[in-house]
Amino acid sequence: MSSEGADVAAPVVDVQGDRRWMDLHEQFVADSMNKEPDVLFVGDSLIERLQYSIVWSEFFEPLHCLNFGIGGDTTQNVLWRLENGEIDNIKPKVVVVLVGTNNHEHTAEAVVKGIEAIALHIRSKQPSAHIIVLAIPPRGKNDNPLRAKLSKINELLKDKISAIPDAEFFDPKAELIQPDGTIDRSDLGDFLHLTPQGYRKYCKPLADKLDELIVVED
Q: Is 45 one of the catalytic residues?
A: yes
CA distance 4 to 113: 9
Q: Under 8 Å CB-to-CB from 116, ≥6 apart: which residues?
A: 7, 157, 160, 161, 164
Q: Is 104 one of the catalytic residues?
A: no
Q: Under 8 Å CB-to-CB from 3, ≥6 apart: which residues?
A: 106, 107, 109, 110
CA distance 24 to 153: 28
The SS3 call for residue 108 is: helix
Q: Which of 45, 53, 73, 130 is catalytic?
A: 45
Largest CA distance in the chain: 48
Q: Which of 88, 159, 190, 208 is catalytic?
A: 190
**129 - beta bridge partners?**
none
Q: Which of 143, 171, 184, 193 is catalytic?
A: 193
Angle at 147 between CA 145 and CA 149, to 5 degrees: 70
Q: Under 8 Å CB-to-CB from 129, ≥6 apart: which residues?
A: 40, 91, 92, 93, 94, 95, 122, 166
The SS3 call for residue 203 is: helix
Query: Which residues are tagged catalytic?
Result: 45, 190, 193
